[in-house]
């Protein structure tokens, strides 16, 4: 795992009150799939600190969340695998992070789901090999700007709720893509056809990779350009847009402040 700059670490109890909806949470764990994703990114992009990413939401911007504790309680909306304790998945070493269920179904889900952010951070830290980071969205549309007209702010919040609700309707429980070769395709799109001909990967229509889903959320809200291909986005592109081909093509800007490692 890439080395951590000590000056960019903070205790999670200090960070949690500052986390806002639409911020991103990054993960790197000790399971083999995470290791493969980080290795591919490090080899191709030069950085591979993070293997997974999700977007922070609450009921104020995603009003259709079922079983939410309150309007302001934070959840992480992500495409990932969660398991029941008796599941047998040979690729996963039963890291505690995988044992936190989707809040809406109350079950383990292999795809897009909502999980309690506070509980997720606590569980993730049970394994000292795991790393978690907070990416603060620089121009967060859920935050009222100084001297902004109340009506303008209210209209923007209504737009966010509408777009997020549509995404929830279309992507609830959509399958997660576990195959690391889809990450290779995201970095090298030209290899997609070749790998599919070899039947190494499927067409990907029924699956969505974690960073692909986050990019889709940001695209839907106008935070990244409509011409960005979300299937080409990998976790490190979101952590550091300068690594992305979409940034080089002028389709995407640096969206986040430097990722803070949560200790």
CA–CA dist 34, 51 (Å, integer):
5
Q: Mean pLDDT lowest for which of 79-93, 123-137, 160-174?
A: 79-93
Give the tens place of pLDDT for each residue, 63-87. Answer: 999 999 999 999 999 988 655 555 4
CATH number of the domain bearing residue 32: 3.90.1720.10
> What is the pTM (predicted TM-score) of this model?
0.85
CA–CA dist 116, 121 (Å, integer):
9
CA–CA dist 234, 36 (Å, integer):
13
Domain, as residue range, for 15? 6-262
Report the pLDDT averaged over residues 170-195: 51
Query: What's the structural domain count of the chain?
Result: 1
Within-domain flag for 72: yes
- For 27, 49, 182, 211, the CA distances from 203, given in Å and listed in that order, are 26, 28, 10, 17
Q: Angle 150-171/210-220 helices, nearest 10 degrees? A: 140
Within-domain flag for 15: yes
Structure tokens at 94: 């039963």
- For 61, 142, 148, 162, 167, the CA distances from 154, given in Å and listed in that order, are 12, 10, 10, 12, 20
Report the pLDDT averaged over residues 192-211: 51
CA–CA dist 22, 140 (Å, integer):
7
pLDDT exceeds cutoff 50 at 104: yes
Q: How many CB atoms lie within 10 A of CB 206?
A: 10
Within-domain flag for 1: no
**Strand 131-135 relative to strand 110-116: parallel, antiparallel, unpaired?**
unpaired
Phi, psi of 135 (to 5 degrees): -110, 105
């Amino acid at each position: 795992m890439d080395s951590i700059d000590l000056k960019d670490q903070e205790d999670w109890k200090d960070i949690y009150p500052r986390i806002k909806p639409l911020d991103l949470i990054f993960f790197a764990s000790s399971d083999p799939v995470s290791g493969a994703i980080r290795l591919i990114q490090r080899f191709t992009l030069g950085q591979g600190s993070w293997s997974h990413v999700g977007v922070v939401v609450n009921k104020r911007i995603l009003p259709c969340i079922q079983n939410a504790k309150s309007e302001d309680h934070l959840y992480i909306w992500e495409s990932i695998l969660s398991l029941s304790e008796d599941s047998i998945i040979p690729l996963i070493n039963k890291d505690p992070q995988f044992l936190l269920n989707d809040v809406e179904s109350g079950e383990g889900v292999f795809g897009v789901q909502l999980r309690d952010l506070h509980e997720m951070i606590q569980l993730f830290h049970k394994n000292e090999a795991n790393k978690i980071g907070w990416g603060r969205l620089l121009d967060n549309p859920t935050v009222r700007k100084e001297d902004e007209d109340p009506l303008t702010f209210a209209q923007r919040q209504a737009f966010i709720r509408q777009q997020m609700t549509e995404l929830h309707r279309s992507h609830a429980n959509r399958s997660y893509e576990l195959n690391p070769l889809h990450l290779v395709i995201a970095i090298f799109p030209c290899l997609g056809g070749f790998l599919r001909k070899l039947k190494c990967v499927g067409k990907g229509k029924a699956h969505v990779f974690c960073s692909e889903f986050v990019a889709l959320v940001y695209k839907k809200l106008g935070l990244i350009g409509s011409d960005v291909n979300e299937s080409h986005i990998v976790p490190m592109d979101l952590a550091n847009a300068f690594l992305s081909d979409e940034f080089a093509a002028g389709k995407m800007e640096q969206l986040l402040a430097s990722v803070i490692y949560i200790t």
